[in-house]
A = this chain, B = another copy of it.
Amino acid sequence: MGLYDHESIEFSHDLRKLHDHVVDSTNILIFIFLLILVILTIWLFKQKRFPYLHETGLAIIYGSLFGIIIRYGFPRTNKKSLNLVANISLTQIKDLPEYIYLAVPNNTQQKFMYSYRHPRRSNEISTQDFEEKATFDPEIFFNLLLPPIIFHAGYSMKRKHFFKNFGAILMFAIIGTLISSFITGGMMYYFTSMFESIRKYFSFTDCLFFGAIISATDPVTVLAIFSEQSSTINVNLNALVFGESVLNDAVSITLAQAIEKYSGASGLNNNFDMIQFFKSIANLIGVFFASFAIGSAMGIVTALLTKFTLIRQHPHLETALFILMSYSTFLASEAAELTGIISVLFNGIVQAHYTYNNLSKESQANTKGIFSLLNFLSENFIFVYIGVTVFTYRNHQWEVPFILFSLFSVVVARAVNIYPLAFLINLSRPKENKININMQHFLLFSGLRGAMAFALAIRNTSTQARRLVLSTTLVIVIITVIVCGGLTSKMLKWLNLNKSVSSDQNHNNVLMLEENSEDENLDDSKDKSKLKKCLNKMSLFIAWQKFDHKLMKPLLTNSRPPLTETMPQFCLPLSNLLTSKEQLDSTSQYAFSKLESSSTLNQLGSNVW
């Protein structure tokens, strides 16, 4: 028997598997211990307040400390037996092969398969064979850690204020991010043209790509900080910062992908093609709305399933169904090459607005609890990982002037985006609802870069240019999270933004129609003059509210006025079919209160129209 007979193949394969398994387990174990440390420190912090350090900053710092330890604390291990390397060269190939099959002497039956991993610079090869296995696949960020964070954001969001500010949010998220991307990209291009050493590997499309990914202000960080401050913060400001940060991720992702595709398709020249550019913008808007549609559709399906199947009699099945439907939204969107983040955000909103009302009490509590737990763990894991990566990533491309200038251009690009857009938005807003100058300063300040920029940067580090992008992104993320994150509460105080809830109260009246809002107490008795002032502007919004009340809620939930009453008489057969037994029961039971609320609605409706 030779060296490559089946016994020794089995053994060598088992040995590799065992080794990989131990390495994997140790890796995850270390991260979990860091998370445990973070949790215990957060608890300590809650006992004794440290105002200048936020828990996301803490996670990064712990991660960095650990990164330093594994980088400098251990001698390089040289596991020769598992790290044999063969160098080969193929002279006549047209494209990189996906797999290489290795034939060995004395064994004609068996070949050994190798799969493509990534490009590597020739001079680095010897140093990083082992560390290779010790990093997480960036896909984990996209597929496992981000979805629950974003879903939770949508699921627990104050929907009222989000939709009230939806126009402004879309403006900041779409126009603002485009401005920010191109200004950052342009400034970096100007800068690199002065440094021949960077210029030769950092092309114009690399500049644009960097501009796009670094323009995503981060929902993870912002949410973590705001959720603590939420009781005192101005609700409109909260909605603006949060909404922008969630939606501009999507813009950032699609823009970055468009730039990549464009640069790949146009081949090897760096000329910017205007037609191609507008195609990209159109594509971006298409992706945005298609993603929105998938998310909403999946939410509606879940609502219908939970309404008509009576699955709520078995809460554990119901909870499982809810979670699987929500997660499959993300996957469906990504599989269709859309933006899962946007889908899952709107899915969360739809689930909260409709499905939540159909769930059993147990499932309501369980789903809230599970998503806030997943959110907490994912969030802290990401920041620990960012901290670790700074020191353990072996291919950093440190270009200090580039990094310093990028910090500067990020701030400039955000200022050029915030102040003019706020001015435009204010033109169409009533006086008491303007984005005042202090809020604008805070919007500038809250442009933290975090998990999303990091995830986009680490996804592809195949060239020197991309490695420079990663190193620079890491620095910007860490500085903004630790500095801006740590100073958020102080900044709110300095800018006098943490007490002004009065401007909010004026506007509650507009939303009197939103009867089922859980988190707000609506006050009916406020003066109606201000109400009417806003109505012209809000008519689209009110129209949606009526539609929601008359069709969507009765159709998708077991809520009180059933379709049989809200829809015209000729729809009756269909309405009957789509009305659940619960709705009919509660109708007879609550007949009086329903009639009353329905007449209130009509009264309001006639005011509106």
Contact A14 B260 (CB under 8 A): yes
Give complex CA distance A424, B462 in Å. 65
Give complex CA distance A97, B6 in Å. 17
Taking CB atoms, residues of chain B closer than 8 Å to A377 are 320, 323-324
* A515 interface hit (Cβ, 8 Å): no
Contact A86 B110 (CB under 8 A): no
* A585 interface hit (Cβ, 8 Å): no
A contact face: mostly helix, strand, loop, or mixed: helix
* A115 interface hit (Cβ, 8 Å): yes
Contact B101 A81 (CB under 8 A): no
Give complex CA distance A328, B31 in Å. 10
Taking CB atoms, residues of chain B closer than 8 Å to A91 are 105
Q: Which of B88, B111, B365 contacts A125 (CB 8 A)?
A: B111
Give complex CA distance A366, B376 in Å. 14
Contact A86 B93 (CB under 8 A): yes
- With A110-B121, A268-B1, A463-B9 in contact, do A96 and B84 touch (Cβ < 8 Å)? yes
Q: Which of B17, B85, B95, B317 contacts A43 (CB 8 A)?
A: B317
Closest B residue to A122 by beta carbon equals B111
Contact A119 B110 (CB under 8 A): yes
- With A102-B100, A121-B110, A324-B39 in contact, do A335 and B84 touch (Cβ < 8 Å)? no
Q: A324-353 CB contact bits vs B (8 Å, 1 = yes)?
A: 110110011011010010000000000000
The range of chain A's interface size is 35 or more
* Most chain B Cβ neighbours within 10 Å, of A39, A81, A85, A305: A39
Closest B residue to A110 by beta carbon equals B119
Q: A448-475 CB contact bits vs B (8 Å, 1 = yes)?
A: 0000000000011011111000000000
Contact A115 B117 (CB under 8 A): yes
* A592 interface hit (Cβ, 8 Å): no
Taking CB atoms, residues of chain B closer than 8 Å to A110 are 119-122
Q: Which of B7, B102, B104, B311 contacts A263 (CB 8 A)?
A: B7
Complex interface: stretch among A22-30, A236-244, A522-530: A22-30
Taking CB atoms, residues of chain B closer than 8 Å to A280 are none
Give complex CA distance A54, B511 in Å. 50
CB distance from A122 to the nearest CB of B (A): 5
Q: A1-26 CB contact bits vs B (8 Å, 1 = yes)?
A: 10001111111111111101110111
Taking CB atoms, residues of chain B closer than 8 Å to A118 are 13, 112-113
Give complex CA distance A97, B83 in Å. 7
- With A97-B86, A268-B8 in contact, do A120 and B113 touch (Cβ < 8 Å)? yes
CB distance from A240 to the nearest CB of B (A): 27
Complex interface: stretch among A160-168, A271-279, A367-375: A367-375
Taking CB atoms, residues of chain B closer than 8 Å to A11 are 260, 263-264
Contact A87 B103 (CB under 8 A): yes
* A290 interface hit (Cβ, 8 Å): no
CB distance from A99 to the nearest CB of B (A): 5
Contact A268 B88 (CB under 8 A): no
CB distance from A565 to the nearest CB of B (A): 29
Contact A119 B125 (CB under 8 A): no
* A314 interface hit (Cβ, 8 Å): yes
Give complex CA distance A39, B201 in Å. 53
Contact B96 A12 (CB under 8 A): yes
Closest B residue to A46 by beta carbon equals B314
* A205 interface hit (Cβ, 8 Å): yes
* Most chain B Cβ neighbours within 10 Å, of A21, A132, A139: A21
CB distance from A461 to the nearest CB of B (A): 9
Contact A114 B117 (CB under 8 A): yes
- With A321-B36, A463-B9 in contact, do A84 and B105 touch (Cβ < 8 Å)? no
Taking CB atoms, residues of chain B closer than 8 Å to A14 are 260, 264, 460
Give complex CA distance A608, B264 in Å. 82
* A588 interface hit (Cβ, 8 Å): no
Q: Which of B10, B22, B35 contacts A324 (CB 8 A)?
A: B35
Give complex CA distance A101, B99 in Å. 12
Closest B residue to A369 by beta carbon equals B366
Interchain residue pairs with CB less than 8 A apart (15): A7-B205, A11-B260, A17-B460, A21-B334, A33-B328, A88-B88, A90-B102, A93-B104, A99-B129, A110-B121, A112-B119, A113-B118, A114-B114, A115-B115, A115-B117
Complex A-B, nearest 9 residue pairs according to Cβ-Cβ distance, in ascending order: A11-B264, A114-B114, A89-B103, A29-B331, A13-B462, A86-B97, A25-B334, A25-B335, A84-B97
> 18 new A-B pairs (CB below 8 Å) besides A25-B331, A320-B376?
A7-B267, A8-B267, A21-B139, A25-B334, A32-B324, A32-B328, A82-B98, A84-B95, A84-B97, A85-B98, A90-B102, A100-B100, A100-B102, A111-B121, A111-B122, A111-B125, A112-B118, A370-B370
